[in-house]
Amino acid sequence: QVQLVESGGGLVQAGGSLRLSCVASGRTFSSYSMGWFRQAPGKERETVAAINWSGAITYYADSVKGRFTISRDNAENTVYLQMNSLKLEDTAVYYCAARRSSYYRVLPSEYDYWGQGTQVTVSS
């Protein structure tokens, strides 16, 4: 069992930056691939970014490419999402999730453990 706790969300003006963190419990963090997802009111949960066990391979949704960066620190059991040039449409609850595999998948349904989410609100 893995427990995930996100932090770093908040209110930011358009064009600003936020850095989300997700800390995982347990001693096997490096064996999991990780993902960040978001869900806006009235919309389905969508994949934002994903990363393999080592951090060498990453995936980004087209809507965030060039603005967001996913990274991980296996020594700290933490995965990060650096979000720059934030837009109004980035407003959502952001979730991190872990997949019991070294290699990520894109679909949220492929992930086994989820955090409680952190709200990101971008204002004009």
pLDDT single digits (tens) 94-108? 999 999 999 999 999
Distances (CA, A) of 105 to 69, 78, 86, 91, 109: 17, 19, 25, 23, 9
Check residue 41 and report its DSSP letter.
T
Confidence class for position 25, pLDDT limits 50, 70, 90: very high
Count of helix runs (H) and strand runs (E) in the chain: 0, 11
Closest CA to 68 of 54, 79, 53, 52: 79
User: Residue 27 has what pLDDT?
Assistant: 79
